[in-house]
Every structure is written in C-alpha cells, then in structure tokens.
C-alpha cells in the first residue's frame, strides 16, 4: 500500500469533511460548522503556514540554512530536508532528505516527523519500515501535524495488534507532558523557593537529584560542582554534564558534551554509550559516523544491568530512584539504573533506525 504524501492527506481530509457536512438546504438557517469541517479548516490553515515557511526557505541564504541545521535548529533541518526532497537549490537526494527530516523529527518538529514517517512508509531515502513509520506518524499526530492521524490509521491495518499496542505505548511515553523547563523552575524559585545550596552537594547522586528537582533554578548553578566530579573521572557526572551541555544551543557546549560522553562511554556507562551513539548518528559537531554509532549501541545493550534487582536493598534503592524523576526516558539518558528498561527501548529503536540507514547507504553504493 502506498501512503499518501502529507499534502495529499491534508487535502483529502478537507474534502472528506466537506462531504460529511453536505450542502446546506435552501432557506435553512445558518448552522454551526461541523467538527470535521473545523478540523479541515485548521489543517488548511496549517498547510498555508507550511507553504509560507517553504517560501521563506526558498528565499533564505542556503549556507545559513545549512549552518543552522547543523547547529540543531529543527525548523532549518526540516526545511533543508524538504529542499533535498524536492531537488530545489540542491541536487535531489532522498537519502539526504530522509537524514535531515529524521533529525528534525527527533528534535520535535511536527511536520518533520510526518514527512519522515511518510518516507519510511514508502521507502524513499530509507528502507521501507511500516512499524517505524507508524511510530513517527504517532509522534506527528501527538504534535498536531495535519494529516498525521489519517496516515497513521491507514498504516495501522498493515501491523498486527500486538505491534501497534507496543508502538502506541512508546508514543504515549515519548509525548507525555514534559517536566518543568528551566525557565519554569526559575520562575518558581523567584517567587519563593530558596535556591539549592549546590556547594553542599558532595556526590554525583546528590547533584543528579538536584538536577531533577522542580525548584532547582538555573541549570548553570549546578555545573561547577558537577564539573568537579566529572574531572575526577566519575562517568555518571561526565554523562550528566554532557546531557546538560547538549541542550545548549552553543556549538562549543555540544562539542564538550560529545567529549564527556566519549569519556564516560570508555568507562563503560551504557547511558553515555547511547548518548555518544546518538550524537554520532546525527553528526553533532560535524562528524557523522553511523557504523561507530551502531557499535556503541550494541556495546550499550550488552552492558545494561538486569531489570530484576538481585536483592531487597537494590530493589529499595531503585524504588526511591524512581521518585526522583518524572520522565523515565530522560532519566535513562542520565544514567538512572531504575530506567534501564527505558534505556533498552531507546537503544533498540535507535539501532533499528541506524541499521536501516546503513542498508540504504549500501544499496546506493555509499
């Protein structure tokens, strides 16, 4: 089955809505617009906004667009992917289109997730993969991308119920309300919560609890103490500092994060091995190495601790750990032992995506 392109899907949704609503009877009083028609109008408005963004991309300076995309700007990554997909201002290249759309999708761009899902569903630029396409359509639908629900429903018929249920659960986890942002925490701190005494945080576990505390304030306040632990060779501190720096928009911070992940990965921390693999897979710092990323993911999976605690003391500690965070996938990347199951899910999903990219590169002779 060929899945409709996102633009066709949005148009089809509008037509269906009009057919459902039907023509008004002669002389009939004005009736409220149906829910379907309202949805169609919303999708039409979103499509118009998308067209406007594309027009802006056409007029943008291409080197500046590429630079912004490489720096991690999701909108730039999406627009660059679309340029490669259309062969506009750059040679048409489905492989490059899929690469940039994937990066945009991973950075939370709704249309990036939709377009990348479409490429996976139809095998353009990537190995055809209905399960991964269904996942990204789900992420796109949760983010409000027009036409995503239609695409996902059409693709659902190709998957068995157990596979759909597993992917639906993964999407629900990934799209759950995020923990409060640093700015939210700063606002709460400003209106009454006293800042955490970071000078009294003597070990990485206390620093990690402070990092996940709702009232911690500015992340930068934790960095000096965390950096001291990282300099002493603590892989958990190196990895957590890398996670913090990776969220910065500064290229220097991202490069330092990669160096920290590399050090912690060498010391055998599975979370750092995953984070380093993720950075290499998307080319943070300009170096993209899919084979090295795949090797790191295999090493990370092999080094995961058992999901079953070996004794009561360990079980009790893991139970207390789970009370420190709200997002288990974020906790997994921080190195929480209690989020080992979520880290395994992330590793397997990333391995599948990278294996597909390598297979496509092999077919293209790259």
What does the pLDDT average to over 312-321? 78
CA 355 to chain centre: 18
In a domain, 327, yes or no: yes
Q: Look at the alpha carbons of 246, 248, 253, 254 in this order and tell me if their dihedral is positive or negative.
A: positive
Same domain, 258 and 135: no
Last residue of a domain, one of 158, 174, 190: 174
Instruction: Find the CATH number of the domain harbouring 161.
Output: 1.25.40.10
**Range with the poorest average pLDDT among 9-18, 139-148, 230-239, 304-313:** 9-18
pLDDT of 29: 37
Share of the chain above pLDDT 70, in %: 73
> Based on the structure, what is the number of domains in the chain?
2
pLDDT of 333: 93
189 pLDDT above the threshold of 60: no
Closest CA to 275 of 334, 209, 212: 334
The pLDDT mean for the chain works out to 76
Q: Are 248 and 285 in contact (CB under 8 A)?
A: no
pLDDT in tens, 82-104: 998 888 888 888 888 888 999 99
Alpha-carbon distance of 270 to 300, in angstroms, equals 4
In a domain, 27, yes or no: no
In a domain, 150, yes or no: yes
198 pLDDT above the threshold of 90: no
pLDDT of 208: 85
**pLDDT: which is higher, 311 or 17:** 311
pLDDT of 241: 92
Closest CA to 85 of 127, 137, 135, 124: 124
What does the pLDDT average to over 11-25? 42
Residue 358: pLDDT band with limits 50, 70, 90: confident
Q: Are 78 and 109 in contact (CB under 8 A)?
A: yes
pLDDT of 188: 33
**pLDDT: which is higher, 333 or 174:** 333
pLDDT of 239: 93
Same domain, 206 and 340: yes
In a domain, 331, yes or no: yes
What does the pLDDT average to over 9-31? 41
300 pLDDT above the threshold of 90: yes
CA 54 to chain centre: 22
Same domain, 338 and 314: yes
Q: Report if pTM > 0.75.
A: no
Most confident of 200-209, 221-230, 296-305: 296-305
pLDDT in tens, 122-176: 888 888 888 888 999 999 999 888 888 888 888 888 888 888 888 888 888 776 5
Same domain, 234 and 311: yes
pLDDT of 332: 92
Last residue of a domain, one of 150, 174, 198: 174
What does the pLDDT average to over 223-240? 87
Same domain, 99 and 216: no
Residue 120: pLDDT band with limits 50, 70, 90: confident
Same domain, 248 and 150: no
pLDDT in tens, 34-67: 445 555 555 565 555 555 555 555 556 788 888 8
> CA-based angle 149:150:151, to the nearest 5?
90
Same domain, 154 and 187: no
pLDDT in tens, 232-257: 888 999 999 999 888 877 888 888 99
Q: What is the number of other CB atoms lying within 10 angstroms of the CB of residue 55?
A: 10
pLDDT of 9: 54
Q: Are 230 and 212 in contact (CB under 8 A)?
A: no
Same domain, 218 and 298: yes
Same domain, 45 and 84: yes
Residue 308: pLDDT band with limits 50, 70, 90: confident
In a domain, 1, yes or no: no
Residue 264: pLDDT band with limits 50, 70, 90: very high
Same domain, 108 and 156: yes
Same domain, 246 and 346: yes
What does the pLDDT average to over 335-357? 90
pLDDT of 361: 80
Q: Are 3 and 118 in contact (CB under 8 A)?
A: yes
Segments forming the whole domain that contains residue 226: 182-363
In a domain, 324, yes or no: yes
In a domain, 53, yes or no: yes
Share of the chain above pLDDT 90, in %: 17
Last residue of a domain, one of 137, 158, 174: 174
Same domain, 128 and 237: no
Q: Are 174 and 143 in contact (CB under 8 A)?
A: no
In a domain, 231, yes or no: yes
């Amino acid at each position: 089955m060929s899945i409709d392109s996102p633009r066709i899907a949005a148009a089809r949704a509008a037509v269906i809505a009009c057919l459902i609503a039907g023509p008004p009877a002669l002389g009939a009083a004005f009736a409220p617009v149906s829910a379907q028609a309202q949805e169609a109008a919303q999708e039409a408005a979103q499509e118009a906004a998308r067209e406007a963004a594309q027009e802006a991309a056409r007029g943008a300076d291409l080197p500046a667009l590429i630079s912004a995309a490489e720096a991690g700007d999701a909108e730039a990554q999406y627009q660059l992917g679309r340029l490669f997909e259309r062969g506009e201002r750059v040679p048409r290249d489905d492989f490059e289109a899929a690469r940039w759309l994937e990066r945009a999708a991973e950075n939370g761009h709704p249309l990036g997730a939709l377009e990348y899902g479409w490429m996976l569903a139809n095998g353009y630029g990537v190995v055809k993969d209905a399960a991964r396409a269904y996942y990204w359509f789900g992420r796109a639908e949760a983010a409000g991308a027009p036409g995503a629900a239609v695409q996902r429903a059409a693709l659902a018929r190709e998957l068995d119920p157990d596979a759909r249920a597993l992917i639906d659960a993964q999407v629900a986890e990934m799209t759950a309300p995020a923990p409060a942002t640093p700015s939210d925490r700063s606002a709460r701190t400003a209106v009454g919560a006293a800042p955490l005494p970071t000078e009294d945080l003597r070990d990485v576990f206390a620093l990690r609890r402070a990092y996940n505390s709702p009232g911690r304030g500015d992340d930068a306040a934790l960095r000096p103490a965390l950096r001291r632990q990282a300099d002493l060779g603590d892989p958990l501190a190196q990895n957590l500092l890398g996670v913090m720096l990776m969220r910065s928009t500064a290229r220097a911070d991202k490069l330092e994060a990669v160096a920290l992940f590399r050090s912690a990965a060498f010391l055998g921390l599975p979370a750092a091995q995953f984070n380093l693999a993720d950075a290499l897979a998307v080319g943070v710092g300009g170096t993209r190495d899919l084979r090295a990323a795949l090797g790191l993911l295999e090493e990370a999976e092999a080094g995961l601790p058992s999901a079953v605690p070996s004794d009561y003391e360990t079980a009790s500690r893991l139970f207390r750990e789970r009370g420190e965070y709200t997002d288990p996938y974020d906790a997994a990347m921080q190195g929480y032992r209690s989020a080992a199951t979520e880290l395994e899910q992330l590793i397997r999903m990333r391995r599948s995506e990278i294996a597909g990219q390598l297979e496509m590169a092999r077919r293209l002779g790259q």
